[in-house]
Amino acid sequence: MNRFRQLAAVAALNFSNMNERIWPSLVAVFGIACVVGVLLSMLSVTRGLSQAVDAASNPIRAIVVAKGNNNELGANIPREAAAFVITAPGVQKDVDGKPIASAEHLGAVPVKRKSDQLPVRMLVRGIGEKGLVVRPEVKLVSGRMFTPGLHELIVGASAQAQFVGMDVGNKVILPDGEWLIVGAFESGGDMLEGQLVGDIEGVLAARQRNAFGSIMVRLESEDAFDRFKEAIMAKPTVQLDIDRQRDFYRRTVEGNLTAFLSAVAYFLGAIMAIGALFGTLNTMYSAVSSRTREIATLRALGFGGFAVGASVLVEAMLLAVAGALLGAATAWILFNGNLNALGPNVFHLAVTPDLVRVGLIWAVVIALLGGLFPAIRAARLPVATALRAT
């Protein structure tokens, strides 16, 4: 009988006797489930933020900000510079012949979070005449569009779910008084969906500003980006940074933030994994001790040490996979799709297949490390010693 046939036979025998050590096995399963569940729940924040960034990113959209700015906040782009950018080569024209571009301003207003009533800040975005043409994914789901020149706003569906007082008909306090929410919109789960949106001139007046924080343009094609950027950079009096929308958001919204959150998740996961490792180690040593008579019988019948030792590792890995799937399922049920606010950014948490694969890899590594020494002990257990133990 070759090694692998022996391994299959011994592994089958192991699992047929699993009921005799069910409680230690469950300890290992639940320990790994906790590790994977916590790890995936924390990583769901970074994955959800990444998905929100990807949802907002369009390959034919570009963002222009003041040189050195790493976000859209502030009012650092003069009107003259904005006019030059909007009419630059490469910007797509609408059916009326006007450039599909929107000079914008981003500010914040105090609100309360629904989940715990804590005061937080949410974003208010002023958009230009072509602001929604630049973003065709924006769809009204209730109410109506705001009227330029009036104190009116529309609100994203994610903001409605996350913050208090965001229903159509509610009022928001800006520096110049009350603004009425007249409609609600969806935009595919991107970050805009967590914001209030209104007319740019009204928002600038309310915040006593006379310059823009960013300019969003729709390009004629993906290849038009270089032509657009070169035309702006060629004018030395215009000090601006130009990025594709995808690159800008990945750099400013993700960047160090997702790296930091991932590092925290893996650090805490590693601490918990050490505990699960010792739990697995104890479980598998216990399994080997309880199977001394069985191992002696198998070795006496001619089964090699490889088959006996490998069967211990197989058992450890199957327990780990069961725990990983349990932890992943728990994380998916409790967190996947839930709204979360990280600073002013509102997005949905995401437990994706990629994260489940990460959890499975962690579980298998824990199983290999936790089952290795018990497997070696089982493989090297002398037949005479095992028989005396019976």
Q: Render pLDDT for 96-125 as a digit per residue (tens, 0 to 9).
A: 999 999 999 999 999 998 888 889 889 999
pTM over 0.85: no
Q: What is the pLDDT of residue 265?
A: 86
Say if 61 falls within a structural domain: no
* Per-residue pLDDT band at 290 (split at 50, 70, 90): low
> Do residues 201 and 306 share a domain?
no
Neighbouring C-beta atoms of residue 5, cutoff 10 Å: 10
- Is the pLDDT score of 94 beyond 90? yes
> Do residues 112 and 148 share a domain?
yes
Say if 244 falls within a structural domain: no
Q: Which range of residues forms the domain containing residue 282?
A: 3-54+253-389
* Per-residue pLDDT band at 83 (split at 50, 70, 90): very high
> Do residues 271 and 317 share a domain?
yes
The string of DSSP codes covering 190-221 is SGGGGSEEEEHHHHHHHTT--SBSEEEEEBSS
* Per-residue pLDDT band at 383 (split at 50, 70, 90): low
Beta pairing, strands 119-127 & 196-199: parallel
> Do residues 196 and 98 share a domain?
yes
User: How far is the first Cα of the chain from the last one, in angstroms, to the nearest whole number?
Assistant: 26
Give the single-character DSSP code of 145: P
Say if 248 falls within a structural domain: no
- Is the pLDDT score of 2 beyond 80? no
For 92, list phi and psi in degrees, rounded to 5. -70, 145
Convert the pLDDT of each residue in 117-173 to its tens digit. Answer: 889 889 999 999 999 999 999 999 999 999 999 999 999 999 999 999 999 999 999
Structure tokens belonging to residue 177: 């008084």
* Per-residue pLDDT band at 190 (split at 50, 70, 90): confident
Q: What is the pLDDT of residue 19?
A: 60
Say if 60 falls within a structural domain: no
**For the chain, what is the domain count?**
2
On whether the CB atoms of residues 172 and 107 are closer than 8 A, the answer is no
Chain mean pLDDT for the chain:
84
> 163 versus 258: which is more confidently predicted?
163
